[in-house]
Amino acid sequence: MPNRKAHAVWEGNLAKGKGTMDFGSGAFKGSYSFASRFEEGTGTNPEELIGAAHAGCFSMAFAHALDQAGHPPTKVDTTATVSLDKVDGGFKITSIHLKTDATVPGIDEMKFKEVAEGAKQNCPVSRALTGVTISLEANLNG
């Protein structure tokens, strides 16, 4: 399996500095700042990137698990909401809420929820984030 790379540069102090982050593949490059991370400023932040990674990983793992269970999905659409909170004088990602809507012909609700929970627990990003509370809301669309 290949190793994946991302890169970040920060210039200046925390409050007034600025930075850029990019993926080794060249698929993304974005700016970030104190305002984009701790306020509502423009730009991205590490938490958004973790959320994107988690939503993407879960969607792939869920699609694969559904297929393996004999119910290939038509679509899996996932949003990850990442909560960054002040804890013990510093900041910590305290929780990630995955909300997925999937179109899966021929599956019953109970099996759907069971497969979704398994994908949540076993996708590589969930496994990497074991120190974070991960919740799941899974909605079956047909």
Domains held by the chain: number: 2
Q: pLDDT tens-digit profile of 46-73?
A: 999 999 999 999 999 999 999 999 999 9
* Residue 1 within a domain: no
Asked whether residue 51 falls in the same domain as residue 91, the answer is yes
Asked whether residue 82 falls in the same domain as residue 98, the answer is yes
- pLDDT for 1: 84
CA 7 – CA 79 distance, rounded (Å): 24
pTM above 0.85, yes or no: yes
* pLDDT > 90 fraction of the chain, expressed in percent and rounded: 96
Asked whether residue 115 falls in the same domain as residue 55, the answer is yes
- pLDDT for 142: 65
- pLDDT for 28: 94
Q: pLDDT tens-digit profile of 76-126?
A: 999 999 999 999 999 999 999 999 999 999 999 999 999 999 999 999 999
* pLDDT > 70 fraction of the chain, expressed in percent and rounded: 99
Task: Give Rg (Cα) of the chain.
Answer: 17
Asked whether residue 114 falls in the same domain as residue 67, the answer is yes
- pLDDT for 60: 98
Domain that holds residue 84: 46-140
Question: What residues pair up with 44 in beta bridges, in sequence order?
Answer: 32
Pairing of β 90-103 and β 133-140:
parallel
- pLDDT for 106: 94
Q: pLDDT tens-digit profile of 5-43?
A: 999 999 999 999 999 999 999 999 999 999 999 999 999
> What CATH number corresponds to the domain at position 125?
3.30.300.20
The secondary structure of 94-133 as a DSSP string is EEEEEEEEEE-TT--HHHHHHHHHHHHHHSHHHHHTTTSE
CA 19 – CA 102 distance, rounded (Å): 36
Asked whether residue 50 falls in the same domain as residue 84, the answer is yes
